[in-house]
C-alpha cells in the first residue's frame, strides 16, 4: 500500500462501472448495471437482505468471480481483459480478505499463518519477519504469536485472520461478515482494527448484517433488486 494517513488521496482504489452478474441463465440477477467506487481511508459498509447480492459484489471486487459485463479497476489496474495469472498476482498483492470464518490453519502458529500469507503476496523473505510482527501487533495479538491457531479463542483467531489479511499492506481490505461469529467485545475489537487500517490509508469494504456497525462506517451502500444505492 502506498498511501498513508497523511496522503489519503481521493482517487478510487476500486472502481466498478456498469457491473452485471446473473446466475441460472439469467433467472437470478443480483447485480444489474451497478457502479461502486471505494477510496483510500474509507470504511464502506455493504448491507442488504439475505440473497440480495452482497457476496456476489464482494467476490467480483475481490477478483474471485467475473461479472457478465461491466468494467472494474483494482488499485489502478483495469482487470476486464487481464488473464487469470495476472489477476491472481493483483489479488495477492493489492487485496486482503477477511471472512466470517477465515479458516486460519489450526496446526500452524499465529505467526506462521501470517508468514504464509506473505509468501503468497510475494513479500521478500527478508522482509517477512518484521511484517509478521508488525501485523500481529497491529491486530493486538502479538502476545500469542507462537501459539497454535487451533489453541486460540474464536476472537483471537479472527484477529490473526485480520493480521494475515493486512500483513502485506494491501490497498484494499475486503471483509465478508468479519464479525459474524463474534460476541460484542470481539466484534468491537475487530471493527476497531478495520477502522484503524482505513485510517492508515487502506480502503476497507465490509459486508455486514450489523446495522450499528454499518452506521459507524464512513459510508454505506445497500444492495437490493439488482441495484446498489447509497443508504
- If binding is defined by CB under 6 A, does position 27 make contact with ligand ATP? no
User: In the set 41, 48, 70, 178, which binds ligand ATP (CB under 6 A)?
Assistant: 48
Residue number, 100 or 196, with CB nearest to ligand ATP: 100
Shortest Å distance, C-beta 50 to ligand ATP: 3
Of 227, 102, 87, 78, nearest in space to 175 by CA: 102
**Is residue 23 close enough to count as binding ligand ATP by CB under 6 A?**
yes
One of 2, 51, 77, 130 touching ligand ATP (CB under 6 A): 51
CA atoms of 114 and 35, how far apart (whole Å): 33
Our finding on whether 52 is near ligand ATP (CB under 6 A) is yes
Residues contacting 24, CB < 8 A, separation 6+: none
- Integer-rounded Cα Rg, in Å, for the chain is 17
**Binding positions for ligand ATP, 138-177, rule CB under 6 A:** none
Considering the complex, state which of residue 9 and residue 215 has its C-beta at the smaller distance from ligand ATP: 215
CA distance 118 to 223: 33
Give the nearest distance from C-beta 57 to ligand ATP in angstroms.
7
Closest by CA to 189, choosing from 140, 134, 144, is: 140
Q: Concatenated DSSP letters for 2-14?
A: ---TT---SSEEE
| Residues near ligand ATP, by CB under 6 A | 23-24, 28, 30, 48, 50-56
Amino acid at each position: 500500500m502506498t498511501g498513508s494517513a497523511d496522503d489519503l488521496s481521493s482517487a478510487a482504489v476500486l472502481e466498478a462501472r456498469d457491473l452485471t452478474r446473473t446466475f441460472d441463465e439469467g433467472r437470478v440477477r443480483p447485480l444489474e448495471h451497478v457502479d461502486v467506487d471505494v477510496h483510500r481511508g474509507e470504511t464502506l459498509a455493504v448491507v442488504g437482505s439475505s440473497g440480495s447480492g452482497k457476496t456476489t459484489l464482494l467476490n467480483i471486487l475481490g477478483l474471485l468471480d467475473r461479472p457478465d459485463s461491466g468494467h472494474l479497476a483494482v488499485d489502478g489496474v483495469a482487470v476486464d481483459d487481464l488473464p487469470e495469472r495476472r489477476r491472481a498476482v493483483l489479488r495477492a498483492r493489492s487485496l486482503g480478505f477477511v471472512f466470517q470464518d477465515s479458516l486460519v490453519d489450526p496446526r500452524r502458529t499465529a505467526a506462521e499463518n501470517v508468514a504464509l500469507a506473505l509468501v503468497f503476496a510475494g513479500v521478500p523473505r527478508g522482509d517477512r519477519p518484521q511484517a509478521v510482527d508488525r501485523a500481529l501487533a497491529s491486530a493486538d495479538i502479538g502476545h500469542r504469536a507462537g501459539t497454535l491457531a487451533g489453541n486460540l479463542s474464536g476472537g483471537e483467531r479472527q484477529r490473526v485472520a485480520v493480521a494475515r489479511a493486512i500483513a502485506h499492506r494491501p490497498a484494499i481490505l475486503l471483509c465478508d461478515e468479519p464479525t459474524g461469529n463474534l460476541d460484542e467485545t470481539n466484534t468491537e475489537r475487530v471493527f476497531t482494527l478495520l477502522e484503524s487500517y482505513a485510517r492508515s490509508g487502506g480502503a476497507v469494504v465490509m459486508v455486514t448484517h450489523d446495522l450499528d456497525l454499518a452506521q459507524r462506517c464512513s459510508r454505506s451502500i445497500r444492495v437490493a433488486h439488482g441495484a446498489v444505492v447509497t443508504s
